[in-house]
Structure 1
Amino acid sequence: MSEPEGAPPAAGTGHVPGTGNGAGVDDVAWIVDDPHHVTPQWMTAALRRGGTDTEITALRHEPVGSGQLSSSYRFHLTAAPDATDPAPPSVVLKLAAGTPAGRAQIAPGYRSEVGYYRSFATGAQIRVPRCWSADITTDGHSFTLVLEDAHPSRPGSQVHGATPTQAHAAIRNLAGLHAPFWGQEGLRDTASWLRHSDEAAIGFFGELFATAAGPFVDRFGPDLSPSDLDTLHRTADLFGRWGSHIGGRHSLIHGDYRLDNLLFSEATDGLPTEVMAVDWQSLEIGFPGRDVAYFLATALTPELRRSHEKALVRAYHDRLAEIGVPDYPFEASFHDYRLGTLQAPLITVLGAVYATNEPTENSHRMFLSMITNACAAIRDLGTLDLLAA
């Protein structure tokens, strides 16, 4: 699970600090493992590196969030009064955490998150934190991000779900990631670390899903309806066919675009709700419908989804067109949404079974909410019928 971090600039204004693609930089001067090692001089240099000409004279920090393999700290900053640029009152540092074995396991995710800010943030039109500095060691086991503080924005809750207003803001925001990279060739040529889920990779995930389905049912089965259990078993049986159905379109996808990875600033004084996406450790080249379906199928109760899904997919489709995606009819967009729904049980089951942190009552409620919502969406949308045809 990810922790809150950063705050949104205008869409597409994330800074790309440093040089290169950010996936193998061994520049230890910019990388810290202990927040106590961050000095006013270090912070001054990091902010200047990212375009803010200021001088930090004092700072203090506190932990935020509850990450297991990464940690975030809010730094409160005091700046010299005669600085050229005003310093932000606070920033968030995100650092690697956990055991050496855990870091080695999550290293591809660390590379993806640092790489997104360095290689793709400025070209996207999705709201992300402003990033002053982003670096990772060559082995991928340590990294440091300096991000704008999001407070008082708050993360969504998988257990409580999204309101239609929040869902509308989130789905339009998602289009801002997909549209600029829609069908773009050579994405991996500019970022060798970037994963690509082709048919073979989807097949591998299908094997993992089938293996994890048993332990998942052992743990959650008593709380699942017979219909949900049947949907899970049928999904495991047909998952191997999914890859051949979703290879026709690609873009950059977030891979874990869910409520807990979104920060919302609620509407006030007639202004619209704003949302930003964090936690880019699952970034890859993939089928855009996976992000759309994963969000809508897990963020909304079945009743709300049934009432609003066509309007929400329409909002996503319209935003794609505004940004410049041609020749993509709404009917195709809705079909891709139906196909993408298997992303929801895939991530939910794997996340529950392979999570490194100990299960809690809150995590149990979260995964149960996600899987029941996802199974209802798969049945309502006839996704398994599309695979069986």
Structure 2
Amino acid sequence: MASRRTRSSRSWRPTGTSGPRASRAARGATPDGADPVTVIDGPSGLTPAALSEIFEAPVTGVAWEKVGSGQIGACYRLRLEGAEGVPRRLVAKLAAEDEASRAFLAPAYRAEVSFYRDIAPTVAVRTPRCHYSAQSEDGTAFVLLLDDLHPATQGDQIAGCTPEQAADAVTNLAGLHGPRWCDPTLADLPWLSTVGDDDAATLGEVYAPAVETFVDRFAGELDDRDVRTLRDTAGAIAAWMTARPGCFGLVHGDYRLDNLLFPPAPERGATAVDWQTLSLGHPVRDLAFFLGTSLDPAERAARERSLVATYHAALTGYGVDGYGLDECFEDYRFAALQGPLITVLGCAYGTRTERGDRMFLTMTTRSCAAIRDLGSLGLI
């Protein structure tokens, strides 16, 4: 419902490629037929010659180290030496090392490359500056050269976060949603996926067995109430996916602590990364997912009204009107099913690790408690 959004008169500084090298980077960033020569496929391609070509300035030395687990993509921290204007620290994000998985992951790669090209300059969410991006013609290889945000540190999904960090994160989230709230031109982007009735039905067919896989894996660790809640969400998820279509916008899809970087306390300025699950849907799903999985249930119940109000106040600052706080909180209650949907599917179909199991169990139990506390299933 476009009437819920008024375009802001603010002029946002692009967070994507900018500066004198923008024209070259933009040419390389086209996901529909980018020149394969510009795509670095693996760390061996992070050479002074390749980076000199990208930055159009001499790069005389490159040192890199791998960071992160690299299940969907591979990340490397770079230290560069070279002429004035060459960044000294970068993070390079490349396709997964497992080449067999790349065709399946190509849509996710396309979404992230396209986010930095098409979306980042039009929103206010804090995200690393992208110096260069490119994707191969078949979509199975890509490269992003991003600012290294050191000394910012990654959030810890298992440990959770402080109320101050939560407020920082939801304010930043409004910077993704607010500037393009109910913007009909988002539908013109062919790479930005949305869920229709057939997609929702298929998702329901996939999610139900994933719930049983999850319940079996954590037998003895899941509370009986959580098992019942998960099975109830399985019966409701298809209808939930397409409900409340009047409010739409950008959805990060995996806005959680492990995908956020926080500056050293007491500074504020949470930064969001990992844009491979970006889609078009109800924006408040991101808010419910973040709060439902990041805070202990008692802390979340005590703080959520204040945190939703913080998010809503930030939305209004981007020109969103006709969408009151009460309606926002009702949408937040409704959207809580995003928690088990993302965590259960990630657990069932992702690569299994010891930390991953602990993380998915923690996130799911927190989000199931939120669904019960908020009466979310009764709103579908």
Question: Normalising to structure 1: TM-score of the pair?
Answer: 0.89
Tell me if structure 2 keeps the 8 A contact 1:156–1:263: yes
Residue 382 in 1 paired to residue 375 in 2?
A: yes
Q: What is the CA–CA distance in structure 2 between the aligned matches of 1:11 and 1:365, rounded to whole Å?
A: 39
Aligned-CA RMSD value: 1.7
What is the CA distance between 1:205 and its match in structure 2?
1.8
Paired residue for 1:281?
Answer: 276
Tell me if structure 2 keeps the 8 A contact 1:11–1:126: no
Tell me if structure 2 keeps the 8 A contact 1:25–1:135: no
Tell me if structure 1 keeps the 8 A contact 2:28–2:134: no
Tell me if structure 1 keeps the 8 A contact 2:36–2:137: no
Aligned with 1:186: secondary structure?
Answer: helix
Q: What is the CA–CA distance in structure 2 between the aligned matches of 1:301 and 1:187, rounded to whole Å?
A: 35
Paired residue for 2:64?
Answer: 61
Q: What is the CA–CA distance in structure 1 between the aligned matches of 2:162 and 2:317, rounded to whole Å?
A: 24
Q: What is the CA–CA distance in structure 1 between the aligned matches of 2:90 and 2:161, rounded to whole Å?
A: 27
Deviations 1:79-113 (A, max 9, x none): 23xx3x3x332111111023333111111100001
Paired residue for 2:124?
Answer: 125
2:359 pairs with one of 360, 366, 369? 366
Paired residue for 1:24?
Answer: 32
Q: What is the CA–CA distance in structure 1 between the aligned matches of 2:180 and 2:30, rounded to whole Å?
A: 19
Deviations 1:162-221 (A, max 9, x none): 1101110100100000111111113132x2111112343233222211121111110013
Q: What is the CA–CA distance in structure 2 between the aligned matches of 1:344 and 1:32, rounded to whole Å?
A: 35
Paired residue for 1:341?
Answer: 336
Tell me if structure 2 keeps the 8 A contact 1:43–1:56: yes
Tell me if structure 2 keeps the 8 A contact 1:199–1:247: no
Paired residue for 1:175?
Answer: 174
Q: What is the CA–CA distance in structure 2 between the aligned matches of 1:383 and 1:19, rounded to whole Å?
A: 46
Farther off after superposition, 332-341 or 57-66: 57-66
Q: What is the CA–CA distance in structure 2 between the aligned matches of 1:76 and 1:105, rounded to whole Å?
A: 31
**Runs ≥4 in structure 1, deviation > 4 angstroms?**
none
Match runs of 1:1-389 below 5 Å = 12-15=14-17, 17-19=25-27, 22-48=30-56, 54-80=57-83, 83=84, 85=85, 87-189=86-188, 191-268=189-266, 272-355=267-350, 357=351, 359-387=352-380
Aligned with 1:223: secondary structure?
Answer: coil
Aligned with 1:370: secondary structure?
Answer: helix
Paired residue for 2:6?
Answer: none
Tell me if structure 1 keeps the 8 A contact 2:77–2:91: yes
Aligned with 1:281: secondary structure?
Answer: coil
What is the CA distance between 1:66 and its match in structure 2?
1.3
Q: 1:200 to 1:11 in 2, by over 3 A?
A: farther
Q: What is the CA–CA distance in structure 1 between the aligned matches of 2:153 and 2:300, rounded to whole Å?
A: 22
Farther off after superposition, 39-48 or 297-306: 39-48
Deviations 1:274-301 (A, max 9, x none): 1111111100111111111011100111
What is the CA distance between 1:145 and its match in structure 2?
0.6
Aligned with 1:176: secondary structure?
Answer: helix
Q: What is the CA–CA distance in structure 1 between the aligned matches of 2:82 and 2:97, rounded to whole Å?
A: 32
Q: 1:144 to 1:20 in 2, by over 3 A?
A: closer
What is the CA distance between 1:21 and its match in structure 2?
7.2
Tell me if structure 2 keeps the 8 A contact 1:267–1:274: no
Gaps of 5+ in 2: 1-11, 19-24
Q: Partner letter of residue 67 of structure 1?
A: G
Paired residue for 2:22?
Answer: none
Q: What is the CA–CA distance in structure 2 between the aligned matches of 1:316 and 1:75, rounded to whole Å?
A: 35
Q: What is the CA–CA distance in structure 2 between the aligned matches of 1:22 and 1:250, rounded to whole Å?
A: 26
What is the CA distance between 1:11 and its match in structure 2?
7.1
Q: Partner letter of residue 247 of structure 2?
A: R
Q: What is the CA–CA distance in structure 2 between the aligned matches of 1:334 and 1:158, rounded to whole Å?
A: 24
Q: What is the CA–CA distance in structure 2 between the aligned matches of 1:122 and 1:221, rounded to whole Å?
A: 46
Fraction of identical pairs, as percent = 43
Q: What is the CA–CA distance in structure 1 between the aligned matches of 2:171 and 2:198, rounded to whole Å?
A: 30
Q: What is the CA–CA distance in structure 2 between the aligned matches of 1:11 and 1:32, rounded to whole Å?
A: 28
Tell me if structure 2 keeps the 8 A contact 1:46–1:146: no
Tell me if structure 2 keeps the 8 A contact 1:168–1:315: yes
Q: What is the CA–CA distance in structure 1 between the aligned matches of 2:235 and 2:209, rounded to whole Å?
A: 11
Tell me if structure 1 keeps the 8 A contact 2:200–2:239: no
Question: Normalising to structure 2: TM-score of the pair?
Answer: 0.91
Tell me if structure 1 keeps the 8 A contact 2:222–2:365: yes
Q: 1:199 to 1:324 in 2, by over 3 A?
A: farther
Q: Partner letter of residue 276 of structure 1?
A: T
Q: 1:235 to 1:376 in 2, by over 3 A?
A: same
What is the CA distance between 1:15 and its match in structure 2?
1.7
Aligned with 1:18: secondary structure?
Answer: helix
Q: 1:341 to 1:307 in 2, by over 3 A?
A: same
Q: How many residue pairs were aligned?
A: 363
Q: What is the CA–CA distance in structure 2 between the aligned matches of 1:195 and 1:274, rounded to whole Å?
A: 29
Q: What is the CA–CA distance in structure 2 between the aligned matches of 1:78 and 1:212, rounded to whole Å?
A: 48
Aligned with 2:218: secondary structure?
Answer: helix
Q: What is the CA–CA distance in structure 1 between the aligned matches of 2:199 and 2:138, rounded to whole Å?
A: 23
Q: Partner letter of residue 178 of structure 1?
A: H
Paired residue for 2:8?
Answer: none
Farther off after superposition, 310-319 or 195-204: 195-204
Q: What is the CA–CA distance in structure 2 between the aligned matches of 1:62 and 1:346, rounded to whole Å?
A: 34
Q: What is the CA–CA distance in structure 2 between the aligned matches of 1:14 and 1:377, rounded to whole Å?
A: 35
Tell me if structure 1 keeps the 8 A contact 2:29–2:135: no
